[in-house]
Amino acid sequence: MTTEPAVAPFSGRTAWARSLETPLRNFLRTETGSAAVLLAATVAALVWANADSSSYQRVWDTVLSVRIGGRGISEDLRYWVNSGLMAFFFFVVGLEARREFDLGELRERRRFALPLAAGLAGMAVPVAIYLAANAGRSSAHGWGTAMSTDTAFALGVLALVGPRLPDRLRAFMLTVSVVDDVVAMIVIATV
pLDDT in tens, 30-55: 666 777 787 888 899 999 999 998 99
In this prediction, residue 5 carries a pLDDT of 54
In this prediction, residue 44 carries a pLDDT of 93
Q: What is the pTM of this model?
A: 0.54
Judge contact between 65 and 72, C-beta under 8 A.
yes
In this prediction, residue 48 carries a pLDDT of 92
| Whole-Å CA distances, 188 to 14, 87, 184 | 49, 16, 6
- Does residue 68 register a pLDDT over 90? yes
> Which residues, 6+ apart, have CB-to-CB distance to 24 below 8 Å?
none
**73-120 tens-digit pLDDT:** 999 999 998 888 878 877 877 787 777 778 776 777 777 788 888 888
In this prediction, residue 14 carries a pLDDT of 55
For the chain, how far is it from start to end, CA to CA, in angstroms?
84
In this prediction, residue 52 carries a pLDDT of 92
In this prediction, residue 62 carries a pLDDT of 94
Confidence of residue 17 (pLDDT cuts 50, 70, 90): low
Nearest Cα residue to 153 out of 33, 35, 29, 28? 35
- Does residue 4 register a pLDDT over 60? no
Confidence of residue 64 (pLDDT cuts 50, 70, 90): very high
Mean pLDDT across the stretch 118-129?
A: 85
In this prediction, residue 50 carries a pLDDT of 94
Lowest model confidence (mean pLDDT) among 29-33, 48-52, 127-131, 141-145: 29-33
**145-190 tens-digit pLDDT:** 777 666 777 777 777 776 677 777 777 777 787 777 777 777 777 7
The Cα–Cα gap between 139 and 33 comes to 39
In this prediction, residue 8 carries a pLDDT of 52
